[in-house]
Amino acid sequence: MIELKDVTIAYDRVILDHASISIPAHSITLLRGKSGSGKTALLYCIALIDNKSSYKYFYDGKLIEGKMRDEYRRSRISYVLQESSLLPHLDVT
């Protein structure tokens, strides 16, 4: 299970203020909201891509912080972009 607690995301305005989310293992979770409501920003936190926002990250009940976040991102988290991010002159093969 992945849990984020006290998520605060702010850019030019506060998008999320002390929000929390729990994502059960082996589940499908839907994030839904209007444009600008923080869906992508929250996904970056879940995937441990965002290092600027304030939040506590728990993986299977264990607090993951500091340099451990880099290790967990590399070994346990996958992030698939909606849009193709391939270089135009290269293909998958």
Extents of the domains making up the chain? 2-76
Cβ-contact 15, 9 below 8 angstroms:
yes
Is residue 26 very low, low, confident or very high in pLDDT (cuts 50, 70, 90)? very high
Higher pLDDT, 86 or 78: 78
Closest CA to 19 of 54, 62, 58, 59: 54
- The sheet carrying 62-64 orders its strands as 14-23, 2-10, 54-59, 62-64
Q: What is the overall mean pLDDT for the chain?
A: 89
State if pTM tops 0.75: yes
Cβ-contact 41, 15 below 8 angstroms:
yes
pLDDT exceeding 90 applies to what percent of the chain? Answer: 63
How distant is the alpha carbon of residue 93 from its chain centre?
Answer: 28
